[in-house]
């Protein structure tokens, strides 16, 4: 009887601690958003940690809609936390009701994500190759980072599985699904399931 009561008490304490922790993470989130000059709507929240924001002071911008959720460590497919990085004169724009699970987004020019899109744990979205594709130029410290940059646009109601890489210039049409572990290098039309490396057409979306 005493053991059972202690067990219930311990569970209640743990629950209380996680509620306090969640509250604290969300207070910290608001501070971090403010410090990074991120525009955001109502109901933006974070779970299990606070995402990293790295916004270039030379007109880098992050615009978040309402009810966006940042899931960090702890979900079955999430072993990292969300990171959003924006270069000079670049922008990340995320519409309402988007869910990000330990996702890393890097915009040198522009990455946009449509409403109700869900992105699985460990996925990365980049609008640049980061480095020069000419090996001679990569030896030159002044030129090694002169990379191609093409904006990425992810439509509404898209579902991207865990551990995908969405490369520069890609446009993913609304309602489409990207299978777990895919590398997307080409545009994906609306209402299609694509997967693999490089991602290829699998079938049409049902429904
Ligand atoms: C894409 C997905 C939704 C397809 O599910 P499904 O409709 O049940 O598909 P099936 O298992 O019947 O497979 C259909 C075809 O897609 C292929 N396929 C499925 N998953 C794939 C993947 N991750 N990569 C490459 N091809 C894949 C199958 O090999 C099969 O090909 P075939 O017709 O030539 O045999 C599912 O495999 C998936 O990746 N879900 C994402 C899970 C996830 O990461 N969730 C996020 C957690 S945060």
- Label the pairing between strands 104-107 and 83-86: parallel
Residue with tokens 């109700």: 116
Containing H/E element for 119? strand 118-119
pLDDT at residue 91, as a whole number: 98
What tokens were used for 4? 């059972």
Query: Which of the residues are catalytic?
Result: 131
Contact 108, 87 (CB under 8 A): yes
Q: Provide CB contacts within 8 A for 18, sequence distance 6+.
A: none
| Ligand 1, CB within 6 Å, residue ranges | 77, 101, 120-121, 161-162, 177, 179-182, 193, 195-196, 202
Q: Name the residue with the closest Cα to ligand 1, atom 4.
A: 179
Q: What is the distance between the alpha carbons of residues 31 and 43, in angstroms, rounded to a whole number?
A: 15
Count of residues in the chain: 207
150, 58, 162, 73: which is closest to 112 by C-alpha?
A: 150
Interval between CA 95 and ligand 1 midpoint (Å):
26
50, 45, 38: which is closest to 91 by C-alpha?
A: 38
Per-residue confidence of the chain (207 residues) as pLDDT tens digits?
888 999 999 999 999 988 898 899 999 999 999 999 999 999 999 999 999 999 998 999 999 999 999 999 877 777 899 999 999 999 999 999 999 999 999 999 999 999 999 999 999 999 999 999 999 999 999 999 999 999 999 999 999 999 999 999 999 999 999 999 999 999 999 999 999 999 999 999 997
CATH assignment at residue 19: 2.160.10.10
pLDDT at residue 94, as a whole number: 98
Instruction: Write out the residue range of the structural domain in which residue 57 sits.
Output: 2-204
Q: Name the residue with the closest Cα to ligand 1, atom 41.
A: 161
Q: What phi and psi values does residue 99 have, to the nearest 5 degrees?
A: -115, 125
pLDDT at residue 76, as a whole number: 78
Q: How many folded domains does the chain comprise?
A: 1
Q: Ligand 1 pocket: which of 118, 161, 172 to mutate (most atoms <8 Å of CB)?
A: 161
């Amino acid at each position: 009887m005493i053991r059972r009561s202690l067990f219930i008490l311990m569970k209640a304490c743990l629950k209380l601690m996680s509620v306090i922790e969640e509250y604290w993470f969300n207070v910290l989130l608001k501070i971090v958003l403010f410090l990074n000059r991120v525009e955001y709507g109502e109901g933006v929240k974070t779970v299990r940690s606070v995402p990293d924001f790295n916004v270039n002071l030379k007109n880098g911008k992050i615009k978040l809609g309402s009810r966006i959720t940042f899931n960090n460590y702890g979900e079955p497919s999430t072993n990292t936390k969300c990171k959003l990085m924006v270069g000079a004169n670049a922008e990340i724009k995320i519409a309402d009701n988007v869910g990000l699970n330990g996702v890393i987004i890097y915009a040198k020019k522009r990455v946009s994500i449509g409403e109700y899109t869900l992105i699985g744990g460990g996925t990365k979205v980049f609008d640049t190759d980061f480095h020069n594709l000419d090996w001679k130029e990569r030896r030159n410290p002044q030129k090694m980072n002169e990379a191609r940059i093409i904006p990425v646009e992810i439509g509404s109601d898209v579902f991207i599985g865990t551990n995908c890489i969405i490369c520069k210039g890609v446009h993913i049409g609304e309602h489409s699904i990207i299978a777990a572990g895919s590398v997307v290098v080409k545009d994906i039309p609306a209402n299609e399931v694509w997967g693999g490396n490089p991602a290829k057409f699998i079938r049409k979306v049902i429904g």
